[in-house]
Amino acid sequence: MQHLIAETKDGVTVYVNLISSPAASTISHQPHILNLLKEMALDTISGSYPAVTIDMGRVVGNCQVVKTSSKDTIFYARKARTQTYSRFVKTSKAAPTSHLSARLKKDPEGNYELTDIWLGEAYPPVPGTPEETADSRPFWAEHAFVYNANAIEPRTLTKTCPY
């Protein structure tokens, strides 16, 4: 089910699948994000898998990605609606943020599907995804998602790094 979010200044449509995308999971747990999306002033978007970060000018929620240290309890699991493992931390708390970030994927018609959205600044895709970049592994070796039982598939939990 495609849901229109916005049109860029150069006429490109941005939409989200509210049933099967990872963005749908975030939106269902934090419905106010859909309203924030509509506030985003999207300029020209380019590339196959662009990431966009907007400073909303006010605190809009808590960032779920934090820097980790050797003192943190780390584990890996698959997030809901994903096939790849992400790094999680149990001993940290989310921090307030004014940033909203989104990852998009260009479709064959030249429009963009919102594939992921989160509160906080942009970060590289997790390792093991088709979008993985050279920055992914170094970044995720030092950062993790704050643990949220609703966001993971419990049967996939492991302490061994899968990538």
Render 115-137 in DSSP notation, one character per residue. EEEEESS--PPPTTSTT--TTHH
Domain presence at residue 162 = no
Closest CA to 14 of 26, 22, 4: 4
Is 115 within 8 Å of 22 (Cβ atoms)?
Answer: yes
Instruction: Judge whether 74 lies within some domain.
Output: yes
Q: What is the pLDDT of residue 57?
A: 93
Residue 30: its pLDDT value, please? 86
Question: Residue 78, Cβ neighbours under 10 Å: how many?
Answer: 19
Is residue 23 assigned to a domain?
A: yes
Q: Domain for residue 163, yes or no?
A: no
Give the domain range for residue 97.
2-156
State pTM to two decimals: 0.81
Asked whether the beta carbons of 121 and 40 are under 8 A apart, the reply is no
Number of domains in the chain: 1
Per-residue confidence in pLDDT tens, the chain, 163 aa:
788 888 877 788 889 998 888 788 888 888 888 888 877 766 667 777 778 888 999 999 999 999 999 999 999 999 877 889 999 999 889 999 999 998 888 899 989 899 889 999 999 989 998 889 999 999 999 999 999 876 789 899 999 999 8
pLDDT of amino acid 70? 92
Per-residue pLDDT at 41 = 61
